[in-house]
Amino acid sequence: MITRRVVLVLPALALGLPSRAALSAATARAQSAGSPLAAALALEHEAVHTFGELGARLDDATKELVRALDANHRQHRDRVTAALRSAGETPAAALPAYSLPIPVGERASALEVLLLLEEALVRAYTTAVRSGTDRALAGELLGACASHLTVLRFARARSLVGSTDAFPGQG
């Protein structure tokens, strides 16, 4: 898994775009057009789509976890949408299709994609906190996605050591 991740991230780093490593091309385009919270919404749309799609490819036990995370992301999506409307912005709808950032063939690669999405969301909400746009909501959802990272890392490695960060979203 480490090898796969290095393969994915290094080209992005070489391009100076590490934050885009986990994003589909469609979401990357959506992100470039909006406010930090709008960018987070674009990722939440992608998360809802991807968790739903990949959940079907997982074993029953992991599927249950992914279903719970999917439900959380649907709530996040709705709350961010409402926050954007309250701020006078027009929230973007989900895109018709999303491409996966890496080929997904089995459980390990599916979990890797979900982890990459959560990492991108943590960075997006960190940016939203910095911008001051609905900071309370952004901070809360940053925390939620960081906790998603912890349970997904555990599901991937079966070890809770190394599943937490001192500063989620940093770097």
Q: 6: Cβ–Cβ under 8 A, 6 or more apart, which residues?
A: none
Binding mask 82-111 for another protein (x = CB under 8 A): ------------------------------
* Contact flag: residue 68 with another protein (CB under 8 A): yes
* Contact flag: residue 27 with another protein (CB under 8 A): no
Rounded CA separation 117/135 (Å): 21
32 CB neighbour count, 10 Å cutoff: 10
- In the bound complex, what is the minimum distance in angstroms from residue 21's beta carbon to another protein? 20
Cα angle 132, 134, 136; round to 5: 100
Residue owning tokens 């809360």: 140
* Contact flag: residue 131 with another protein (CB under 8 A): yes
* Contact flag: residue 170 with another protein (CB under 8 A): yes
Rounded CA separation 115/151 (Å): 10
Scanning 25-33, 43-51, 92-100, 159-167 for contacts with another protein by CB under 8 A, the matching segment is 159-167
Scanning 1-9, 12-20, 43-51, 125-133 for contacts with another protein by CB under 8 A, the matching segment is 125-133
